[in-house]
Amino acid sequence: MEFVTLNNGLKMPQLGFGVWQVEDEAAAPAVKKALETGYRSIDTAAIYKNERGVGKAISTADIPRGELFITTKVWNADQGYDNTLQAFDNSLEKLGLDYVDLYLIHWPAPEHDDYIETYKAMEKLYQDGRVKAIGVCNFDIDHLQRLLDECEVKPVLNQVECHPYLAQKELKKFCQQHDIYIEAWSPLMQGGDVLNNEIITELAEAHGKTPAQVIIRWHLQNRSIVIPKSVTPARIEENFNVFDFELTEEDMDKINNLDRSERKGPKPSEMNIR
C-alpha cells in the first residue's frame, strides 16, 4: 500500500475501496473480502444506505481500528448545521464506530446554499475529535474558494468524478495549489468505454496488466487518491494488485492526452437533488 499525508498530518491509504451502489446485504461480504485482500480504506455514505453492512464487516474483521480509514458523507437533505450533527450521529450508530477518519459533504447543492453551515458543523466535529479529518465531494473551484474564504479548517480532499476521459486538470491544479488532494470516484468510468480505449489496452498488454489496473496506476502516479468499487472477489483483488509495476512518463502522457471532459455523473453546479 502507498500512503498520502493529508494537510492536517493524517496519513491515508492512496488506494481505497468504494461501496457506491452496493446493497446493504452485499456490503458486508464485499468489504470483508476487500479487507482480506489488503484494503484498509473504506468509502461509504449515508445515501448509499449500506453503512450497517460496512460496519458489520469492520466489526468482524480482525484488524485494529487504528489501521482502518473509514470515510462517510452527509447527504444533501441533511445539510445545515444542526442537521449535519444529527446526520453524523446516525452514520456513526449505523457504522458501529466511535469516530470516523474522514467526513465529507456529498455535494455542494448550491441552489440550497447550505454547504457553508454544513461545513461549519463538520469543523465542530473535527475540533471535538469525533472525526480525524473533514473534506468535500464534487466541489467546483468556486465552491472550494468560498469554503476557503469563509471557514477555518481547510478540507483535506475533494472527492470528484475523475478518469482518463475526465482528468479534471484545472481542478487538480487549484487543489494542488491549496494542498487539497483529489480523490477519484468512478475512477474506471463505471466500467465505461475507457476500458476499451486502444491506448489503454495497448499499455495493459505491454505491462502484463488489465486495462483497469493501468487506469488505477495512472491515478496513483498522478497523486490522486482512488476508490474503485466491485463486489466480484476476483475484481476486488485485481484492482488492488497495482503496486508491482509503474507507468513510464511516456505512458502517463498518453493517458493524460485522452481527456475529453466526458462525465458519467452530473455537474456539481447542477446537482441539487435532496
Residue with cell 484492482: 239
DSSP β-ladder status, 131-137 and 225-226: unpaired
C-alpha distances (whole Å) from 35 to each of 60, 91, 217 are 11, 20, 20
Query: Which residue of the set 48, 126, 165, 181 is catalytic?
Result: 48
Helices 141-150 and 169-177 cross at an angle (nearest 10°) of 20
Q: Find the farthest-apart pair of alpha carbons in the chain and give their distance in angstroms, rounded.
A: 53
C-alpha distances (whole Å) from 175 to each of 48, 88, 270 are 26, 26, 21
Amino acid at 255: I
Q: How far apart are CA 147 and CA 136, in angstroms?
A: 10
The grid coordinates listed for 226 are 482512488
48 a catalytic residue = yes
Query: In the 8-state DSSP scheme, what is residue 155?
Result: P
Q: Which residues are catalytic?
A: 48
